[in-house]
Amino acid sequence: MSGLLTSSIARKVVMALSGIFLVFFLGQHFVINITSVIAPNTFNSWSHFMGYNPLVQYLLQPILIAGVVVHFAMGIALEIQNTRARTVKYAKYKGSANASWISRNMIITGLVVLAFLGLHMYDFWIHEMAYKYIEANPEDPTRYYEETVEKFEPLVRTVIYVASFGLLALHLLHGFASSFQTMGINNKYSPAIQTFTKIYAIGIPLGFAFIAIYHHLNPITH
């Protein structure tokens, strides 16, 4: 059993499981966010539910944060190990001859996504925590829609968000399909899995980008 924690394969599986978990979270996050475009009232009530339901706040939210931390920490650990596995570099290394750029640069797209997560937490989560627990404001189930749309008023923020979604798409284009291979799934369903993961990897970030741009172009006028 000990190998299950320290071996190369175990590390890979942790990477894949945490990645898949984040992919599911991303889908759920998208479903809530898209309501801010099509049904602002639904967006308000769902956001309020997520913000005040104890199960979400005290169980799911910590699990999510742990998922990001585990995925990040393992990504860094693997990167260090992988760099150490080749101490003398090639004078000429033609990586593009046999593998895609995105598959070779998961650490770069991953770190950009992490930087984005920092900004995103600052924008929404820190604000929420301050609103609820520090300023101890009363519950207001109608504020979320307006607050969200206002966030996308500055062009800079909108551009940064959209660019980050682009890199997230690159990360997922390799990562989502790769996690199936890591977990040992490579069979007659793999072509279908590849297609599904590609559609998801492009579609979900594209959807997020659409929401950001939509709110930027349709500010609330009082």
Partner 1 sequence: MKLTLKIWRQKDANSKGKMMDYAIDGIDGDMSFLEMMDVLNENLNNKGEEPVEFDHDCREGICGSCSLQINGEPHGPDRLVTTCQLHMRKFNDGDTITIEPFRAKAFPVIKDLIVDRTAFDRIQQAGGYISVNTSGNTQDANSIPIDKHDADDAFYSAACIGCGACVAACKNASAMLFTSAKISQYALLPQGQVEAVDRVQNMVRQMDLEGFGNCTNTGACEIECPKGISLENIARMNREYLSASVKG
Of 42, 45, 61, 103, the one binding partner 1 by CB under 8 A: 103
Of 38, 54, 55, 85, the one binding partner 1 by CB under 8 A: 85
Cα separation, 61 vs 55, in Å, equals 9
Nearest residue (CB) to ligand HEM, 75 versus 207 = 75
Positions 22 through 41 that interact with ligand HEM (CB under 6 A): 22-23, 26
Of 47, 109, 148, 182, the one binding partner 1 by CB under 8 A: 182
Return the number of other C-beta atoms located less than 10 Å from residue 99's C-beta. Answer: 11
Of 32, 34, 37, 111, the one binding ligand HEM by CB under 6 A: 111
Q: Does 38 bind partner 1 (CB under 8 A)?
A: no
Nearest residue (CB) to partner 1, 97 versus 156 = 97
Of 59, 114, 163, 199, the one binding ligand HEM by CB under 6 A: 114
**Residue 185 contact among partner 1, ligand HEM, none, beta carbon within 5 to 8 Å by kind:** partner 1
Q: Does 75 bind ligand HEM (CB under 6 A)?
A: yes
Cα separation, 170 vs 167, in Å, equals 5
Q: Does 16 bind ligand HEM (CB under 6 A)?
A: yes
Residues with Cβ within 8 Å of residue 45, at least 6 apart in sequence: 141
Of 55, 58, 84, 217, the one binding partner 1 by CB under 8 A: 84
Nearest residue (CB) to partner 1, 64 versus 111 = 111
Nearest residue (CB) to partner 1, 14 versus 112 = 14
Cα 208–Cα 212–Cα 217 angle in degrees, nearest 5: 145
Cα separation, 122 vs 126, in Å, equals 5
DSSP for 58-73 reads IIIHHHHHHHHHHHHH
190-217 vs 155-182: helix crossing angle, rounded to 10: 170
Under 8 Å between Cβ of 192 and 212? no
Q: Helix count (H) and strand count (E) of the chain?
A: 11, 0
Q: Is 184 helix (H, G, I), strand (E, B) or coil?
A: coil
**Residue 22 contact among partner 1, ligand HEM, none, beta carbon within 5 to 8 Å by kind:** ligand HEM
